[in-house]
Amino acid sequence: MAAVTRFDFDLFTIGAGSGGVRASRMCAGYGAKVAVAEERYFGGTCVNVGCIPKKLFSYAAHYREDFHDAGGFGWTVPETAFDWPTLVANKDKEITRLNGIYERLLANAGVTILKSRARILDPHSVECDGKVHTARHILVATGSWPVLPDIPGREYAISSNEAFFLPQLPDSIVVVGGGYIAVEFASIFNGLGVHTTLVYRGARLLRGFDADLGLRLAEEMTRKGVKIRFESDIGALKKLGSGQLAVTFRDGSHMHAGAVMFATGRNPNTRDLGLEAAGVRLGEGGAILVDDYLKSSVGSIHALGDVTDRVNLTPVATAEGMALAKTLFRDQPTALDYANIPTAVFSIPNLATVGLSEEAARKRGGVEIYKTGFRALRHTLSGSEEKTFMKLVVDAAGRKVLGAHMIGPDAGEIIQGIAIALKCGATKEQFDSTIGIHPTAAEEFVTMREVTNT
């Protein structure tokens, strides 16, 4: 009779971010003996240096416009002043509260918590603080980390991580990048009164999103005071005696700024985890390659979330955590459906999208495009020239709505509901037959009638 192999744990999770915590809790709920090792902070990127503090900062940045807009509605607003240390301190207080919640969720589920770095020794062994733990399954949920370009003076720049903890707000900043992190922070700094320049090597913002979104967002951000330099990149930084940074662009031009923030990419957090030695195959940038069931090239080692560099969104990581738990400990092999995942960009104005871009849809076949742009009712009195933009991408033959895109206040709140319709396979006729709520911006999604294929 073969000997029964005993492990210390059924699941050993490395990383207590949103995905790692959800997977560990669910697995423990299914009766598994689970351990989680976390070397930094509970809640991962989202809670500490991502979604949550970023949106709190975005709220703060919106107030400048709100104070201005109030005048058109009869409110007299006294002279306003913004205090950066107050915002940072209040943000830190909230993040500390959330850290505690995440840790308690694990503890209450009966998960063993190890507050230290873990390293994989072999397919079933993990070393933590000098002690070796064995596990039937190992889950890597270590997320990703910002990458700064290799240029002279890079040590003077910051990433989004440091932006949340600046001791003081700079008078001016250069934000480098054209993705969602770059446009969000450019909007935040601009909204807080910082002279902001957004530098991007491409010709339009938000590569990978519908082209209209990048073009129109640039127009709105420019209108709000952000200076945008397209097809431009930084070649070097130098610290001046005044504390300012001398910024040299690759075309030879120069400028000075109080700070420079790079938002030019993130790499999966897989360095020195022992993955290669354990036989785990890695892809570009160190991403862990997994199959539909989140299994790596080594059968006992799994990965989810940003460390796999597929759909890097917090709700995706948590959904993957639930799918993995069912697969491993409920005898229900579960593959996540990655189609029609909605997402929002908390720029000012907000942007949100679900489904296919026009470009992606056209590659599949004939489409009909519906667009609308308008000045929201609020701004007829506020005096703001901000425009709301909405777009539907429809399959010309089957009439199914393939994509919905929006720029404007509360875009994320609106697109979340539209995402349900797309997930259910709604047609344009079903959108058209839905009665709108008047007066709202959202009703425009069910009142667009004219095809605009240009």
> Whose CA is closest to 5, among 140, 135, 138?
135
What are 18-59's pLDDT values in tens digits?
Answer: 999 999 999 999 999 999 999 999 999 999 999 999 999 999
pLDDT band at 454 (very low <50, low <70, confident <90, very high): low
Give the three-state DSSP class for 256: strand
What domains are there in the chain, each with its CATH number?
9-146+267-329 (3.50.50.60), 154-264 (3.50.50.60), 349-446 (3.30.390.30)
CA gap 309, 290 in Å, rounded: 10
pTM above 0.85, yes or no: yes
Per-residue pLDDT averaged across 241-257, rounded? 96
What are 153-199's pLDDT values in tens digits?
Answer: 999 999 999 999 999 999 999 999 999 999 999 999 999 999 999 99
| Ramachandran angles phi, psi of 123, nearest 5° | -55, -15
**Residue 274 burial (CB < 10 Å; 0-12/13-18/19+)?**
middle
Q: What is the pLDDT of residue 266?
A: 96
Q: How many helices (H) and strands (E) does the chain have?
A: 12, 21
Q: Is the pLDDT of residue 3 over 80?
A: no
Q: What is the pLDDT of residue 290?
A: 98
- Element housing 176 (H / E): strand 172-176
Partners of 173 in the beta sheet?
196, 259
Q: What is the pLDDT of residue 453?
A: 76
Q: Is the pLDDT of residue 310 over 80?
A: yes
Q: Which residues are catalytic?
A: 438
Q: Is the pLDDT of residue 201 over 70?
A: yes
Average pLDDT in the chain: 96
pLDDT band at 2 (very low <50, low <70, confident <90, very high): very low
HSE-up (13 A, CA, CB side) for residue 348: 26
What are 318-339's pLDDT values in tens digits?
Answer: 999 999 999 999 999 999 999 9
Per-residue pLDDT averaged across 398-427, rounded? 98
pLDDT band at 5 (very low <50, low <70, confident <90, very high): low
Q: What is the pLDDT of residue 156?
A: 98
Q: Is the pLDDT of residue 248 over 90?
A: yes
CA gap 7, 21 in Å, rounded: 21
Percent with pLDDT over 70 in the chain = 99
Tell me the H-state helices in 210-308: 211-223
Output 151 or 4, whichever has higher pLDDT.
151
Q: What is the pLDDT of residue 447?
A: 97
Output 340 or 453, whichever has higher pLDDT.
340
What are 80-128's pLDDT values in tens digits?
Answer: 999 999 999 999 999 999 999 999 999 999 999 999 999 999 999 999 9
CA gap 189, 419 in Å, rounded: 30
In 10 A of CB 108, how many CB atoms?
10
Tell me the H-state helices in 50-143: 51-70, 84-108
Q: What is the pLDDT of residue 1?
A: 30
